[in-house]
Amino acid sequence: MNDTTDRDPGPGPGPDRDPEHDGAPADVAHRITERRERLGITEDSLARQAAMAPRYLHHLLEAGPTFDPGGFVRIAAALGMSREELLTGRRDAPPGQGGPGPRPRLLSLTEAECWDMVGTHGVGRIGLPVRPGPAVYPVNYVVDRASFAYRTGPRVGTAPQEGAEVSFQVDHIDEYLGRGWSVLAVGTAHYVNDQEETRHLDGLPGAAPWAGGDRPCWVRIRPAEITGRRLVTG
């Protein structure tokens, strides 16, 4: 183990480094603390595993990743994280990590704006009335003649009862600006049995099921009501 308590920090980031791609010191320190506590290790133990003195670890957390890039690589390795995950967070993290934007407000969307937001296809969530309680599943959908349609199989969770009352939600979040929108449709689910209609849906953009497998059934939801809200800031 190298004791770096009194080491010279040396120069800052080299010419091939871009400090703007590194996280803010407070954000990086928070991720380190959160991960360390989740793993159940002390700060002194983390310092030892990262080959540095505890006092130097404190200094690194205050100075930020541009001060000693190699030191943060060792910290990331000790925590079982990649350098990118340590500095900028998980790329596959759920939305909403950035927090709200300045002066947020919720505005209602018209029906026309709702259809414009959901576009021609994408990924939404189907809410089914099953026991012991409602179940919500992500599905990729297509929009066809003022209705949502998605593919499923005969014995999978996304297969509703014929005529079931369901909900369908599509949303989007802009992490950087703290803005977003959400559209909620409520209606009845019906299976598409007409072969010509099935071929029509098969040919639409976004029709291939992301989940793969044998999903030969099309379910169409024609909303009895569609509402939406837009989150704006500033």
Other beta carbons within 10 angstroms of residue 153's beta carbon come to 15
Write down the CATH superfamily of domain 105-232: Electron Transport, Fmn-binding Protein; Chain A (2.30.110.10)
pTM of the model: 0.68
Q: Where in the chain is the domain with CATH 1.10.260.40?
A: 19-88
Asked if residues 217 and 159 have their Cβ atoms less than 8 Å apart, the reply is yes
Q: For residues 204 and 230, give the distance between their C-alpha atoms in angstroms, rounded to a whole number.
A: 27
CATH of span 19-88: 1.10.260.40
Mean model confidence pLDDT for the chain: 87
User: How many whole angstroms separate alpha carbon 220 and alpha carbon 191?
Assistant: 6
What was the pLDDT predicted at 23?
Answer: 66
- Could you tell me which residue, 6 or 187, shows the higher pLDDT? 187
- CATH 2.30.110.10 placement within the chain: 105-232
Name the residue among 69, 55, 56 with its Cα closest to residue 23.
69
In 3D space, the residue among 98, 7, 108 whose CA is nearest the CA of residue 51 turns out to be 7
The mean pLDDT value for 111-122 works out to 97
Q: Residue 1 has which token pair?
A: 């183990």
**Residue 42 pLDDT greater than 60, yes or no:** yes
Over residues 154-158, mean pLDDT:
89
pLDDT of 13 above 80: no
